[in-house]
Structure 1
Amino acid sequence: MDHTAVLTLYDREMRRGARPDGPGAYVERVGAVVRHTGPAHGWNGVVRSALEAADADAAIAEQIAHFTGLGREFEWKLYGHDLPVDLGQRLVAAGFTPGPVETLMVGEVAGLALDAEPPAGVRVVPVTDRAGIDLVADVHERAFGADASGLRRHLCDRLAAAPDTVGAVVALAGDEPVSAARMELAPGAPFAGLWGGGTVRHWRGRGVYRALVAHRARVAADRGHRHLQVDASSQSRPILERLGFTPLTTTTPYVHATARGDRHPSLATAEGVAVSGSCEDQ
């Protein structure tokens, strides 16, 4: 893989060319900032910025005014190659709280190991209705110890309005949901995004997560996406590397709460990262 070329493609298509992620969401390009504004239960944040040191503080203040004016908590996704080099420090000074550093990993679908199957007694089921969404939310809350109400509403919205743009799956051991994940499939985008992969504690380390990655990769290939993209935790990174993913850069979520201090459930849960901030091995 040509790392520089793929990172350039990712920046152009998925950040500068970001698309709304569901009903009620929209993307704006304001100067050197690309921001995504969603409903209260959706994801709100800065997708990309290309700032000069002299303009950075004003741009930060403008985004704070925009999102807090809507009563939204929001996230500024800061990548390792973003400028200025002290942007993270500026965000903290403006009231943002940094989350765990994640690794942007990319895999060319044609080169990934897609033969990983779930362990005996476990089956992977696509989510197509409210009952399936409830199973995904149940896993999310048990695996991450976090409220899944925002995720539940987001998946309901997406499956009702544009089912081809999201692919959620749940792994069942008998009738028990033990792992779940989703995939974002923007039409025409070269990258499909893997998000929110989580496994309940007593099923970790048995290969269920690998099977969910392989399943979603096969779906992405069938839909014509050339690459898969993951914001990986330190726990999921070695699993993804064994499947053929390559690290490109880092990404850190900087979160700014609303004036009321409200916290909205995050939809941008990285593969293996708990919303509460703790990380557990898959």
Structure 2
Amino acid sequence: MTDTSRLLRAYDEQLRTDAETPSAVSVTRLGPLRLVTFLGRRGFVTYQDLGGADEAGVRALVDGAVAHFRSDGGITNVEWKTRGHDHAPGLHEALVERAFVPEEPESIMIGEAAALAVDVPLPDGVTLRQVTQESDVRAMCAMQDEVFGSTPSDASANAILRRQALDDGMELWVAEAGGRIVTAGRLEPVPGTDFAGIWGGSTRTEWRGRGIYRALTAARARSALARGKTLINSDSTEYSRPILERYGFHRVSTTTPYVWTR
């Protein structure tokens, strides 16, 4: 088995379970699907596989998921998380016909935590720290909304604060310059697995290309190792993917979110 095959198998077996949605408010099973509701009445669809469904079966699953979320008038949007390596005949067509809009695909990157835990020099005046206070969390989320082009709101901060209250090991890391957050990201150790995920990586445009994201990632990798996690996973944009590849990470598949808005 190649490294990529081994890592993809570990991803499917260890991460595509309820471990994928630790902050869920509720989870409903529909055949192989997990229909998840998050804080803020956001819906999410995921699964380990589609159970060998043919095209008609896939369409039936999509119809069932849509009916489930439509029946809850408080749900305003739903993300269906697809993976490029799944056997899912007709899924793209079924989703688009039901008003799901595909967003940009991302690379599923996996590698050894030890490979990332290296010393990376920071630019003068830039410091790293882990944050826990509500004011810091809200400042971090506001910066990420800005970088990702999202409409500023309290929704992401409220969701992170709720997750933080679960005390499940999630860590929030920032890099600061002159008292201003310039880079941020989360570490999410996954209980009962070899994995910790690195999520939410974002850097202000004017600070990119100076090694700050690499330093923040290295700090998170060291923390993951201290928690006994040997593998790191990340859904990476085309900005962060090359950084992880330099440290021996493998692009094991892709993931594309399809989003339905009421």
TM-score by length of 1: 0.83
Identity %: 37
Q: CA deviation at 1:124?
A: 0.8
Tell me which residue corresponds to 2:37.
37
Maintained 8 Å contact 1:165/1:184: yes
Partner of 1:89: 93
Following superposition, the deviation at residue 174 of structure 1 comes to 2.3
What amino acid is the match of 2:235? D
The answer to whether the 8 Å contact 2:58/2:90 transfers is no
The offset of 1:148, in angstroms, is: 4.8
The question of 1:101 aligning with 2:105 is answered yes
Q: 1:131 to 1:212 in 2, by over 3 A?
A: same
Query: 1:57, 1:92 → 2: CA distance?
Result: 11
For this pair of structures, how many residues does the alignment match? 256
Check whether the contact 1:41–1:153 (CA below 8 A) recurs between aligned residues. Answer: no
Distance 1:85 1:55 in 2: 9
Which consecutive residues of structure 1, in runs of 5 or more, have no partner in the other structure? 259-282
**Secondary structure of 2:124's aligned partner:** coil
SS at match of 2:16: helix
Q: C-alpha distance in 2, partners of 1:150/1:122? A: 28
Flag the 1:238–1:165 CA change in 2: closer, same or farther, 3 A.
same
Counterparts in 2 of 1:31-70, with a 5 A limit?
31-40=31-40, 44-50=44-50, 51-70=53-72
With 39-48 and 82-91 compared, the bigger mean Cα shift is at: 39-48
Distance of 1:43 and 1:224 partners within structure 2:
32
Q: Counterparts in 2 of 1:60-139, with a 5 A limit?
A: 60-70=62-72, 71-72=74-75, 73-139=77-143
**Residue 15 (structure 1) aligned with residue 16 (structure 2):** yes
Give deviations 1:209-235, integer Å, cap 9, x for gaps: 111111111111111112111111112
One-letter code aligned to 2:5: T
Rounded to whole Å, the distance in 1 between the matches of 2:216 and 2:154 is 22
Question: Does the C-alpha gap of structure 1 residues 222 and 113 become closer, same or farther in structure 2, counting only changes over 3 Å?
Answer: closer
Which structure is higher in strand share? 2
Match of 1:58, SS state, is helix
Does the C-alpha gap of structure 1 residues 161 and 113 become closer, same or farther in structure 2, counting only changes over 3 Å? closer
Following TM superposition, where does structure 1 have runs of at least 4 consecutive aligned residues deviating by more than 4 angstroms? none
State the Cα distance separating 1:97 from its structure 2 match. 0.2
Q: 1:168 aligns with which of 163, 166, 172?
A: 172
CA separation of 1:28/1:110 partners in 2, compared to 1, >3 Å: closer, same or farther? farther
Q: What corresponds to 1:274 in structure 2? A: none
Kindly state the Cα deviation for residue 202 of structure 1 after the two structures are TM-superposed: 1.4
TM-score under structure 2 normalisation? Answer: 0.89
CA distance in 2, matches of 1:224, 1:27: 28
Matched with 1:253 is 257
